[in-house]
Amino acid sequence: MKTGSGTVHVPGQVVLVLQGGGALGAYQVGVYQALHEAGIEPDWVIGTSIGAINAALIAGNPVGDRFGRLREFWKRVEHDAAGANPLAALTGLPNVATNLATVVKGIPCFFTPYPPAWWGTHVPLGAEAAAYYSTAPLRSTLADLLGGGRVATPRTRLTIGAVSARSGEMRYFDSRDEALGLDHVIASGALPPMFPAVRIGGEPYWDGGIYSNTPIEAVFNDRPRRDSVIFAVQMWNAAGPEPQTMWDVIGRQKEIQYASRNRSHVARQQQIHHLRRVIRALEQKIPRRLRDTREVRDLAAWGCGTTMHIVRLAAPRLEGEDYLKDIDFTPAGIRARWRAGHRHARRALAAAPWRSAADPIEGVVVHDGPWT
């Protein structure tokens, strides 16, 4: 059980699941800030893409330094075009000048253009260089903020999702099973064709978000399962308004793609855990002399009595945001999403929905708020 300041009591392990989404990851910082202020530190952090970067900054630093290191990272990646912005009036897109500057110049401490890739799409560069930008600046930034490259402390478990560029299979690298380093974090954010693959153990890996952008499945597949309160932090919303323009269409396509069927995955796990609870209940109905036989024990092993509470926190849509919102590293955009994450998480903690009575036959209980 985790006990924070005040009256916040969290049963079981605390799991923080962080989705990918570029600049939208500022929302995750606000969520962590609220947990940190309540005295609740995650036992396990799981992340993909920008979520892996935030996860590493949390799990890879002592508790007292975590929020400061997150704040410093997001301060460094702030990016805003200076001077007047006539393009905004012409296009109706408020951040068009900043977004254009990001595309042309990159973000100095995050990524910078890689000129050889711009010479032509058929130039042989190799898997670790075939990309429009270099992430060498990100490696330097993270090394500075993670004490030379440590990405997990013994106290906090870290899981990072990446996908093999050769097999197309998703892999979750887990600090419980192996030592994790900067390569794992950067691989998880290596979104092609913008960023190059990162080689780990001889295999080139890309951003896990192109396969599964919401890495909550890592919790459900864990062995052994444990009672948990899972804060699932989402930046992409599958549901949205009907698109009216071509710009709307590509924006909705991105939202749906990176929402990664999160709700259907969770619904499926609810069904599976329901069946596990049923098996456990049926086992108790079997006479003890039969229950102790090998055949019944093998069947009963499919049962489970753990309870997983999922508290879903979703980043809101900001006025004027568009298809390029995931590269909106403007100070205003970062602040707005950060504040929203902090506000939503504080309200979720105040509600403490995991304390409400749940159906004893259900193993996965979802809490959607509203926290806005």
Closest by Cα among 348, 341, 339 to 370: 348
pLDDT of residue 50: 96
pLDDT of residue 85: 55
Digit-coded pLDDT (tens) for 103-158 = 888 899 999 999 999 888 898 999 999 999 999 999 999 999 997 677 877 789 99
User: How high is the mean pLDDT in each 10-residue block of the chain (372 residues)?
Assistant: 56 93 95 96 96 96 94 92 52 66 88 92 91 95 85 88 94 94 95 96 93 86 90 87 87 83 80 87 86 87 89 88 86 94 96 88 88 78
pLDDT of residue 230: 96
Closest by Cα among 84, 140, 81 to 111: 140
82-119: burial string, b at 16+ Cβ within 10 Å, e else: eeebebbeeeebbbbbbbebbeeebbebbbbebeebee
pLDDT of residue 110: 95
- Two tokens, residue 358: 């749940």
Verify cis geometry, omega within 30 degrees of 0, for the bond prior to 193: yes
Digit-coded pLDDT (tens) for 191-203 = 999 999 999 999 9
Write down how long the chain is.
372
- Two tokens, residue 38: 């309540």
pLDDT of residue 186: 96
Contact predicate 314/237, CB 8 Å = yes
Cα(67)–Cα(58) distance, rounded to whole angstroms? 8
pTM: 0.90
Cα(51)–Cα(19) distance, rounded to whole angstroms? 5
